Amino acid sequence: MPALLYALRTLSRDWKSGEIGVLVVALLVAVGSLTAIAFFTDRVGQAVARQATEVLAADLRLRSAEPTNPAYLAEAEARGLATARVLAFPSVVSHGDDSQLGAIRAVTAGYPLRGTLRVANDLFTPAYAVEEVPPRGEVWAESGLLARLGLEVGAPLQVGALELTITRVLEYRPDQTVGFVALAPTILMNLDDIPDSGLVVPGSRVTWSALFAGADAEITRFAAWLSERLEEGERLQDIGDAGEQVTGAIDRAQRFLTLASLVSVLLAAVAVAMAARRYAARHVDSVALMKCLGAPQRFVLQVGLWQLALLAILAGLAGSAIGWLAQFGIAWLLAELVGGQLPPPGPLPALMGLVTSLAVLTGFALPPILQLRSVAPVRVLRRDLPPPRVTAAVAAGAAIAVVVLMLAWVLRDFRLLAVVVGGIAGLLAVLLAAGWGLVRLSGSVRGGAGVAWRYGLANINRRGGESITQVVAFGLGLMVLLLLTVVRNDLLDGWRASLPEDAPNNFIINIQPEELPDVEALFAEQGVTPPVFSPLVRARITHLNGVPVREADVTDPDARGLLTREANLSFSPVLPASNTLVSGRFWAPDSRGEEISIEEGIAESLGLSLGDTLGFTVAGEPLAGRITSTRAVAWDSFDPNFFVLFQPGEIDEFPKTYITSIYVPRDERGVLLELVRRHPSVSVIDLESIIAQVRQVMDRASLAVQYVFGFTLLAGVVVLLAAVQATRDERRYESALLRTFGARRSVVLRGVITEFVALGLLAGVLAAAGAVVVGDVLARQVFRLAYAPDPLLLVAGPLLGALLVGLAGTLATRSVVRTPPVRTLRA
């Protein structure tokens, strides 16, 4: 307890005297910026996740071949959850003598629980949102059905034993299928009409779905409760089962936001490290005095640890409070841009603030604090006796361990962690070598320069260790600032470019081989450039490396689901534009054989690698292929993509259909109407709403990253100030001596400017190069984006370094130079 009380008194005294001002400010900026980002991105992440639930039309969906157990619905309602039911099945509907296969979806009131239905009053007229479902006696049908049967709104439609009236055109429902199995247009009707239709009888092949929505915590608890009671044939779906396009965009958005948070973590560590070194150095004399008065080493150590703990707790709480308040301001400023009301933030960012404060102080302040216990009492009499130095291995080891652990905690992505840690390690090595080279060079060239230059270069040479440390600090700080600029501009622009304004907004599926020439001719007649058509072969996976799938050791539920349903195969002479080769080799355009290329995620979940074999059955015929390459697929490109591609020639003769995606402006959609009239079996799927979802995810991620930049810039300024503050005492003494011996104040100030401009110029050159290299690796290896660095970055880096470091150094040391020499010498 005496150690705690003494630590409180010394902290209070240091605060009043300004001794810990820089350290506290560095911690507050570090924790405040990190938690502000974390709070805000947590809210945006929740909003994005909620948006993704629109793909399921609920937070949770239970699918089964039998009617939903009433006990499930009763339990959900007892927990305060909203519920709805959906019955889906194919059925032939008719009008007069004409008939058409339709995908019946009978729903209850409240559907959809997430997202909105969009309907139109007639074919290809503007769509609008509605909150109700079709009342009894009415149906809403997709445009494809009306076009094929030659109907208009108001016409009767025979559905089983019922004659229902078409009252609206169904344009969009949140849970519409974007894949290649929605072979019939959707007909939305009221579930209460199903008994009178006579369509559903015992043994009918139908799919029942129960939808649930509510607070996240209650949904999680209900899902756990439900999972324990599921019977055979019942399957739960959540956000992870959303379509590849939306989930791919969300995953990439989370990577961008994670990287933005990472930048603040790195700058926080650098700023606190510089401030902590100065704080520990200024306590050497007080520790020597304590030992002269009989304080044992254990007491000194306890005081230091208590001081660190108190600082960590106070800065963690205060910084988290600052971050919590700051994110409300951001959310208010961005209310319209992020879609209005955001969900409230969770408690995890506050915990992150406390952990960050404690971890940074432990990694960067604990080693010098531990070394204080070795201060010799004789230093009270011999001020020239140097303080004990921290072993480089101990200091570096603690700092590296803390940084890596913090990065791993924040990132939770091994590939991104490896790229960032590798980039930082490489940059640190280059910065250390460059700093050492600058120190050596300044010692050899300063003799031929003017007075101010000689003084500035002499400072760099005389304080070699400090100069190298400052080059490292300035270079790292500038690099992450430039890197964030790269992320905010180049990478986000590359992401947006991956979904241009003319991205495909319609899937056209179920084109028969004999219809393909006429479909291509139709587009040419209408003045529309025909798209590229991809063959689609339906198959079922039967063997993994010769082992039947029922005996295969596959535990991943998504992979097991792939093995139990039909798969979509295709063949292509070239690598599709929206695919990137990850490993192996893609076959030559004119080659033939049994080689296959598999999507990397599926290969990983199935435990497959290059050289393994996959067995299929297609129309009852066996088929096998050997994996010679893996691909990364850009699912959010809205191009036709496949998990498995064959070489041409191997599956050409099997039954197949063709699919494509195409961009058709809204005022030219008559070509699609003509297409389904000429070819009733062809289905057109409107992707406009899905694309809008993906673009909204992009905009939200971009917005969050832009505001992160403001906080990170503040953290970067603190890095510069902390690095300059580390030598303030020594500079004050040197300035007093020089002015005592006759040097003018302007000469001393120009020497300081020269020193910091030289340091900043070197740090800026290396930081710009590091930002380009790391940005390129991030783009290609992590985000799977094309990346072309801005040449201005290589010019802006050195100029920004010289300007920022020179200005920060000048402002921070100006008061030192202006201090009267007599005051410094008397002190």
| pLDDT value for 804 | 75
Mean pLDDT lowest for which of 364-378, 387-401, 731-745? 387-401
Mean pLDDT of 136-144: 90
User: Could you tell me the residue ranges of all domains in the chain?
Assistant: 1-57+249-412, 82-213, 431-501+685-827, 529-663
Mean pLDDT of 137-144: 89
* DSSP codes joined into one string, 183-238: -S-EEEEEGGGHHHHT---TT---EEEEEEE--HHHHHHHHHHHHTTPPTT-EEE-
Residue 36 CA to residue 584 CA, distance in Å, equals: 44
pLDDT at 596 over 80: yes
What tokens appear for 712 in the block? Answer: 């990170």
pLDDT in tens, 306-340: 888 888 888 888 888 888 887 776 666 555 444 45
pLDDT in tens, 2-14: 777 877 777 777 7
Mean pLDDT of 672-683: 73
Query: Cα 274 from chain centroid?
Result: 30
pLDDT in tens, 78-123: 999 999 999 988 787 888 877 777 889 999 999 999 888 989 988 7
Residue 330 CA to residue 332 CA, distance in Å, equals: 5
| pLDDT value for 105 | 92
Distances (CA, A) of 540 to 439, 594, 595, 614, 654: 68, 17, 17, 10, 13
| pLDDT value for 713 | 63
pLDDT at 494 over 60: no
Mean pLDDT lowest for which of 103-117, 164-178, 187-201, 279-293? 279-293
Residue, of 65 and 373, whose pLDDT is higher: 65
| pLDDT value for 617 | 87
Looking at 18-69, list the stretches that DSSP marks H as alpha helix, in order from N- to C-terminal side: 21-52
What is the H or E stretch that residue 508 is in?
strand 506-511
pLDDT at 180 over 50: no
pLDDT at 390 over 60: no
Cis peptide bond upstream of 112, omega within 30? yes
pLDDT at 241 over 60: no
pLDDT at 681 over 60: yes
Contact of 634 with 497, CB cutoff 8 Å = no
pLDDT in tens, 519-572: 888 888 877 777 888 888 888 888 888 888 877 777 666 666 667 667 788 888
Mean pLDDT of 627-646: 83
The CA angle 674-680-681, to the nearest 5 degrees, is 130
φ, ψ of residue 125 to 5 degrees: the values are -100, 165
Contact of 479 with 457, CB cutoff 8 Å = no
Band of pLDDT at residue 182, cut at 50, 70 and 90: very low
| pLDDT value for 96 | 82
pLDDT at 168 over 90: yes
Beta bridge partners of 657: 536
Band of pLDDT at residue 193, cut at 50, 70 and 90: very high
| pLDDT value for 433 | 78
Band of pLDDT at residue 810, cut at 50, 70 and 90: confident
User: What mean pLDDT, rounded, does the chain reach?
Assistant: 75
Query: Cα 192 from chain centroid?
Result: 44
Mean pLDDT lowest for which of 89-98, 252-261, 639-648? 252-261
What tokens appear for 659 in the block? Answer: 């699919």
Contact of 309 with 50, CB cutoff 8 Å = no
Residue type (1 letter), 221:
R
| pLDDT value for 437 | 74
Residue 175 CA to residue 114 CA, distance in Å, equals: 9
Residue 590 CA to residue 153 CA, distance in Å, equals: 51
Residues in CB range of 577: below 8 A, 6 or more apart: 637, 639
CB atoms within 10 A of CB 556: 13
| pLDDT value for 222 | 92
Query: Cα 567 from chain centroid?
Result: 29
Count Cβ atoms within 10 A of the Cβ of residue 788 and give its class: 0-12 exposed, 13-18 middle, 19 or more buried.
exposed
pTM, to two decimals? 0.55
Band of pLDDT at residue 136, cut at 50, 70 and 90: very high
Contact of 164 with 94, CB cutoff 8 Å = no
CA torsion through residues 414, 420, 421, 422, sign:
positive
Residue 329 CA to residue 785 CA, distance in Å, equals: 32
pLDDT in tens, 203-239: 566 889 999 998 878 988 998 899 888 887 788 876 5
| pLDDT value for 80 | 93
Neighbour-count burial for 410-428, b at 16+ CB within 10 Å, e otherwise = bbebeebbebbbebbeebb
Residue, of 375 and 77, whose pLDDT is higher: 77
| pLDDT value for 135 | 95
| DSSP symbol at 779 | I
Neighbour-count burial for 139-165, b at 16+ CB within 10 Å, e otherwise = bbbbbbbbbbbebebeeebebbebebe
